Structure formats: structure tokens, C-alpha cells
Amino acid sequence: MQAVQFHSYGSPDVLRIEEVEQPHPKADQVLIRVLASSINPADVGGREGSMRLIHARHLPHIPGYDVVGEVASCGPAVTAFVPGERVWAMVGLGGGAQAEYVAVRQSQVAPAPQQLSVEEAAAVPLAGLTALQALRRKGHVQGGERVLINGAAGGVGSFAVQIAKLLHCHVTAVCRTAQIEAVGSLGADEIVDYTHDDVLAHGKLWNVVLDTAGSMDFRTIRRMLTPNGIMVTPAGRPQDLILGAFSRLRQGPRYGFVITRASGHDLALLARLADRRALRPLVDQVFDISRIQEAYRYFEQSRRMGKIVIRVAPG
């Protein structure tokens, strides 16, 4: 099969489309014929080598954590899926979704939503799961609470705005000028344009601050949180991780670092929301896999809005 692969860490120039051996599903795995994937910051960190301890530990490496496709075959222990079924998944830390086939544990797979196109569905898994788990499992968001979302026009942020509104929260979204209209269409109650306004100067308090961009520090954000509030981020900085650990030992605002879990159960929930048209992805651009280097350059250099999708095969 063909796959995107790199043999050394570096710029998008190291990415190649190569012929590799097709994976064989283990007993509890589903072999998926990939129709589309998308690019996430973890893909870039793995390729650059800055996140090699977690992502792309071994070379050569096939990137990609998001997958939407069709079941090609199943391991003997798989009972939930049958060949030909349209599914989606977030694969584990090994990546591998930017290829013609990928093998994924059945517990990480769910039926794909019917109301999203293949390209739209490919934009959801990792970013959607991160937003859902950050708000529900780490932030323990409750209806009526005030939630601030930094990076609201990004992959995670755009889903977080919608999920927080579905949980009946008051949502303040932080983005730049060109993104205001799109973020407003997601349902945000208030929008702060960080290019002209400092959200820290508003003097307001939030129950949950979700920093998807990794540009806020906990020492500052503590002053913006209610006494039992929490700052949550999937992009924790070392100094904040240390302060956050101490915050759990005393009363007052807390810090939570999100490690996204691949979960078919959570993906099934996101699929139901998408089919109710209560959740929609922001897709900035779609690239064919033959333009993989160009896609990564666009992801890394542009001021994108939402997700960059890779079309692997015709849907």
C-alpha cells in the first residue's frame, strides 16, 4: 500500500509517499481502508522531532491520528463491525492514518456520522475528542457556568465552543479579527479579538478556562478563575505543569492537563451530535495526499481557521 512516511526528523520536505507493507489486523483490530485523514499539531511535533518522546518515537514513521474510512477486514475477536461499514477513529500514539490502510483497536472505532461528508468527518476525531474530554472529564463543566475558550477558531477550540454551548454554558471565545464571523456562527456568547483587546483586562471571572493555543500561563490565569475554577489545556508548559501539581494540594483555582484518549464511545457521542447537526467542523482546506508536503506547509505557515484535511482515496 502507499503511505506518507518520513525517515528523518525535519521540515515538510522529509515527507514522502512510499510503498509499504499493508498492516494485518490483530485479534481485536479493525483494518480500515482510509478515505481521509487530517493534520494535527502532534503530527508536526512528531515530524520535527520536538515531540519524539511521545509521537514518532521510531523511524520510519507514518503520521496521522484521524481516520474516516471503510472496514476492510476484522480480527477474529471483533464483534462490533463488519466489512464495508463506514467508520471513523482516532488511532493511538503510533499514528499511521495518512496511508491507504490502518489497523485500529475496535474500542477506538465508531460508526461514522451520516450527516457529514468524508472530508468533514476526517476533521473531527482527535480535535473533537480533545474538546469533549477537556470540558467534561477534566473541566467537569456544568450548565450555567462561564467558560473561556482561547484559540476558539482552531480545531479543538471550534469544537469546544459548540460543546460548551450544548452543555448550556456561557461561552467567551478568544480569536483574531478575521475569525470573528466564523466563531460567532458556532454560538459563542461573547467574542474577544485578541489583536485589539486583552481578555485579562476585562476583570471577569470564569469557571473554566480552556487554553487550546498553549499561550496562557496558569500564574496569570488563576486571577481570572472563580475560587473553584480550573484552567484546562492540551498544550501544557513545563512551569505550568509544576504549578498545577501544587494547585491540587490546596484550595483555590486548579490546573488540568488534558491527554486525549482514543475512545470509540466518545466518538459515538460526537457522531450523534453531528447527525443532529448540533456539531459541525470548520474545514479550512482539503488537500489530496499527493500534495502532502504542501498541506503541511499550509498548516504550519498559514493563519488557518479550523482543520486541514488530507483526502487519501475517493469516497
CA distance 264 to 256: 23
Domain-embedded: residue 198: yes
- 8 lies in which domain range? 2-124+281-311
Mean of the pLDDT values across residues 8-14?
A: 97
114/170 same-domain check: no
Burial class (CB in 10 A: 0-12, 13-18, 19+), 20: middle
Do 246 and 133 reside in the same domain of the chain?
A: yes
- Residue 132: give its domain's CATH number: 3.40.50.720
Q: How, if at all, do strands 190-193 and 170-175 pair?
A: parallel
| The residue to which cell 467537569 is assigned | 140
Q: Are residues 86 and 154 in the same domain?
A: no
Q: What are phi and psi of 275, to 5 degrees?
A: -70, -20
Given a cut of 80, is residue 101 above it in pLDDT? yes
Q: Are residues 190 and 111 in the same domain?
A: no
Is 120 inside a domain boundary? Answer: yes
Average pLDDT over residues 166-179: 96
pLDDT tens track for 60-80:
999 999 999 999 999 999 999
Domain presence at residue 265:
no
Instruction: Answer whether residue 71 is part of any domain.
Output: yes
Mean pLDDT computed over 295-311: 93
Do 236 and 120 sit in the same domain of this protein? no
Together in a domain, 253 and 134: yes
Q: Which long-range contacts (CB under 8 A, 24 or more apart) does 254-257 make?
A: 254/228, 254/229, 254/230, 255/218, 255/230, 255/231, 256/134, 256/138, 256/139, 256/230, 256/231, 256/232, 257/138, 257/232, 257/233
pLDDT in tens, 173-207: 999 999 999 999 999 999 999 999 888 777 899 99
26 and 112 part of one domain: yes
250, 161: one domain:
yes
| Residue at 80 is within a domain | yes
- Confirm whether 271 is domain-assigned: no
253 and 131 assigned to the same domain: yes
What does the pLDDT read at residue 71?
98
Same domain, 190 and 103: no
In a domain, 273, yes or no: no
Q: Is residue 295 part of a domain?
A: yes
Residues 102 and 148 reside in one and the same domain: no
Give the model's confidence band at 219: pLDDT under 50 very low, under 70 low, under 90 confident, else very high: confident
Residue of higher predicted confidence among 199 and 8: 8
Domain count within the chain: 2
Which CATH number goes with the domain that contains 301?
3.90.180.10
Least confident of 11-25, 166-180, 209-223: 209-223
Structure confidence at residue 113 as a pLDDT band (50, 70, 90): very high
The answer on pLDDT for 232 being more than 90 is: yes
Same domain, 85 and 102: yes
